[in-house]
Amino acid sequence: MRPIQPSVFGSFLKQYRLAANLAQETLAEQSGVSADAISMLERGTRQSSRPDTIRLLAEALHLSEQQHAELVAAAPRHRRPRDASGRDASRDAHDPAIALAALFPPTQALPVPLVDPIGRDRELDAVTALLRGSARLLILTGPGGAGKTLLALHAAHAARDAFPDGLAYLPLAALPDPAALAAAHACLLDVRDRGGQALPETTIDDLQGKRRLLLLDNYELIAAAAPLLVDLCAVCPDLTILVASRVALHVRGATEITVPPLALPDPAPLPAVAELAQYPAVRLFVTRAQDARPGFALTEANAGAISALCHGLDGLPLALELAAAHVRMLPPSDLLARLEQQPDILAHGPCDLPPRQRTMDACLDWSYDLLPPMGRAVFHRLAAYADGCTFDAAASVCADIDAASEPAARVGDIFGHLTMLVDSHLLVMEQDGDVQRLTMPALVRAYALRQLRCSGERGDDTMTLSPFDAIAEVTARPNAARIYDYWLGGFHNFAIDRDAANAARAACPDIALMARANRAFLRRVVAYMLAHGVDQFLDIGSGLPTRGNVHELVEQFNPKARVVYVDNDGVAVGHSRVLLKRVPTAAAIQADARDPAAILAHPDTQRLLDVTRPLGVLLFAVLHFLPDDAAYSLGRALRETVAPGSLLALSHGVSEPLSQETLAGVGAVYTRSSTAAYMRSRAQIEAFFTGLDPLPPGIVYLPLWRPGDRDDRDEGIFLDEPERAALLGGVGQKP
């Protein structure tokens, strides 16, 4: 029988007794508690201890108040249920010390799989050879559903004769409380970090001096405890450890083998049937299809559909097996069409499999649940890229997660989270010429998009997918909002936007300074509106959430003020929504700026703004991206819709100070982008204020509208040469 490990209470009691240099008998004499009782408490065989007993022991040991409290907290307060043998039935699940003792069982039958690892001949030979050879610590990693466990079991049996002292097997996922196991490992790692002996003595005694193979499955549950494997190998030199984990462990001295999806045929031109049948993914699908429907065969008629199925399922063995089971009811062509419309058809796996392997969603849930919250947020964002992305693009689309999270939970270094996703086999790093790209397997991306919809980072109910799906489409061209963000020093932009921004700056060297002058004007306008009693703002064409947003400005003066941002660009709205996730007084909506009635009818607008009261309407650098009919219609509609007393502020590019060459050069850049620019004359800009009472100093070059501190880096821009701003602005009030 395996010795019972001491409980947490027993460990504390023994530690304090030894620190006092007392034998059990001496402590018994001084406390009045019997020596047998003390022995049973330390060994964990006594299941309860009365408060009076703990008090007597604490007094005899001269414990401090804190030590006494620790002992009380560790003590079991009631009897736990026992199994038929009289053994504590709940202890393994709740006592980390005993849960840890189960980690390295001296004997446990190694299961004999009923199925072969089809398509894994090369990997099986390699792993078996390593086990028979000099490998001491061998780690199999790969995505969920790749067949790591099956491969490990077959390799262990194939190398069985190399381990005369037997094989031990532990599927960590089968333990009653993996969380308790993780907690126990955290304690041991702390001991290890302080230079102590972290491994239980019984574990060392069981494994030392024996030529044994220890197979640990699902090690991703306690991946942080990988250093303990190194310690175990060091103190048990004849032991070989084979580990299966979805997460790369990065242990020095270990041999780590990635178990990838099965090899796929080239989709075009499709190989001949005889050649196609040799590809591992096709071979597995056909074999499992024959299990479901005897007589099924790969033919010229179904070869194309089967090849497409294997590609669509990423060559992942679990997905192929789940799909092949449906051949009983559906021919491959129908199955392919059904999978494209109903990915959740990958369900109802064999009942002998663990629940996490009976559906693809359950399999991916297992990996997803291991990610920290910010890792999940990064995972959601990267699903936007159907064809993968560069590290630069990934960093840009994830950058604002920092601002949207609590300080203790921020992403910090995006590289760390991307590395974690690659290590978890949820992202794949591929080389594209001289550039490395991050790609997400099709099944994983479909799952990530479903999680994205459920995460709160999604668009309106009328949208097919989250706003982040627009990223893959819009990044093919530069975008005015992202160009503006770049000029302001933001990082919500891509290389294509920076190239366009630099081309515009070549045509107009002052253009980045113009953007900063516009931002300074926004700050002065919002401060003016707040000082005059405005406590709700509608920012139309808000663009990307660069520094100095309206909600950040109003928060300094009136934390109760409300802000609604409006933009028609899915990327901008998606970024803003994540940024505003923890800001209850602000929201971002995706809507057409030319339809103010729809903007005001939006649920978020109605929730935050009282349209019967004066609004602060902000139209900064937006009207010059609308043609005349749309721009003037918007101005009229806003004047008619908002309540009397509302203030409308706008800034607009003016053509007079710029040469025709400059206008043509900048115009060409924006024409190539997703938004063309329409520069207007002073008279045309003043027409936007028709029906409003312009507030002093009227419609002026931006630096002249109630100028701020000249010493401020942005406020001082163009103050001595205001025409260089090439932007007019003003504020009008509805009578």
With a cut of 80, say whether residue 161 has pLDDT above it: yes
DSSP structure class, residue 88: B
What is the rounded average pLDDT of the residues 258-285?
91
DSSP structure class, residue 391: H
For CA atoms 292, 296, 302, 308, give the dihedral sign. positive
Run of H or E residues at 587: strand 586-590
**Residue 137 pLDDT:** 94
Question: Which residue in the block uniquely carries the two structure tokens 């796929």?
Answer: 264
Query: What are the beta bridge partners of residue 589?
Result: 566
Point out the least confidently predicted range of 507-521, 646-660, 671-685: 671-685
Fold of the domain spanning 101-258? Rossmann fold (3.40.50)
Cα 169-174-177 angle, rounded to 5 deg:
125
CA atoms within 13 A on the CB side of 25: 0
Q: What DSSP letter does each residue of 274-291 carry, written as one string?
A: HHHTTSHHHHHHHHHHHH
Kindly indicate the confidence band of residue 179, based on its pLDDT and cuts at 50, 70 and 90: low
Q: Are 112 and 157 in contact (CB under 8 A)?
A: yes
CA distances from 243 to 105, 127, 257, 663 (A): 15, 11, 10, 65
Each residue of 182-207: pLDDT tens digit?
Answer: 555 666 666 666 666 666 666 677 77
**Residue 262 pLDDT:** 94
What is the rounded average pLDDT of the residues 484-504?
79
Average pLDDT of every residue of the chain: 79
What is the rounded average pLDDT of the residues 567-580?
69
Q: What one-letter code names the amino acid at 707?
A: P
C-alpha span between 615 and 521 (Å, rounded): 18
The CATH class of the 495-733 domain is alpha beta
Point out the least confidently predicted range of 60-74, 147-161, 334-348, 407-421: 407-421
CB atoms within 10 A of CB 643: 12
% of the chain beyond a pLDDT of 90: 32
With a cut of 50, say whether residue 355 has pLDDT above it: yes
Q: What DSSP letter does each residue of 224-257 carry, written as one string?
A: GGHHHHHHHHHH-TT-EEEEEESS----TT-EEE
CB atoms within 10 A of CB 514: 21
Kindly indicate the confidence band of residue 611, based on its pLDDT and cuts at 50, 70 and 90: confident
Kindly indicate the confidence band of residue 167, based on its pLDDT and cuts at 50, 70 and 90: confident
With a cut of 80, say whether residue 495 has pLDDT above it: no
The CATH class of the 373-476 domain is mainly alpha
Could you tell me which of 494, 524, 462 has the C-alpha nearest to residue 702? 524
Kindly state the tokens that stand for 706.
Answer: 């109630």
**Residue 4 pLDDT:** 34
More confident residue, 535 or 229: 535
Strand 727-733 and strand 700-701: the pairing is antiparallel
Q: Are 230 and 125 in contact (CB under 8 A)?
A: no
For 456-513, give the secondary structure using H, E and C: CCCCCCCCCCCHHHHHHHHCCCCCHHHHHHHHCCCCCCCHHHHHHHHHHHHHCCCHHH
Kindly indicate the confidence band of residue 98, based on its pLDDT and cuts at 50, 70 and 90: very low
3-state secondary structure at position 130: helix
Q: What one-letter code names the amino acid at 616?
A: G
Kindly indicate the confidence band of residue 733, based on its pLDDT and cuts at 50, 70 and 90: very high
Fold of the domain spanning 8-83? 434 Repressor (Amino-terminal Domain) (1.10.260)
What is the rounded average pLDDT of the residues 212-224?
86
Kindly indicate the confidence band of residue 661, based on its pLDDT and cuts at 50, 70 and 90: very high
Kindly indicate the confidence band of residue 175, based on its pLDDT and cuts at 50, 70 and 90: low
**Residue 610 pLDDT:** 93
Each residue of 618-654: pLDDT tens digit?
Answer: 999 999 988 898 889 888 888 888 999 999 999 999 9
**Residue 210 pLDDT:** 84
Kindly indicate the confidence band of residue 711, based on its pLDDT and cuts at 50, 70 and 90: low
Query: What are the beta bridge partners of residue 728?
Result: 652, 701
**Residue 90 pLDDT:** 38
Q: Phi first, then psi: what are they for 463, rounded to 5°?
A: -80, 140
**Residue 258 pLDDT:** 94
CA distances from 642 to 336, 525, 585, 647 (A): 53, 18, 20, 9
Query: What are the beta bridge partners of residue 562?
Result: 536
With a cut of 70, say whether residue 459 has pLDDT above it: no
CB under 8 A, 24+ apart: contacts of 643-646: 643/611, 643/612, 643/613, 643/614, 643/615, 643/734, 644/614, 644/734, 644/735, 645/613, 645/614, 645/733, 645/734, 646/614, 646/615, 646/616, 646/617, 646/733, 646/734
More confident residue, 140 or 74: 140
3-state secondary structure at position 186: helix
Question: Which residue in the block uniquely carries the two structure tokens 């989709």?
Answer: 267
**Residue 45 pLDDT:** 56
% of the chain beyond a pLDDT of 70: 76
3-state secondary structure at position 566: strand
What is the rounded average pLDDT of the residues 152-169?
91
Kindly state the tokens that stand for 246.
Answer: 């979805």
What is the rounded average pLDDT of the residues 86-105?
42
More confident residue, 533 or 712: 533
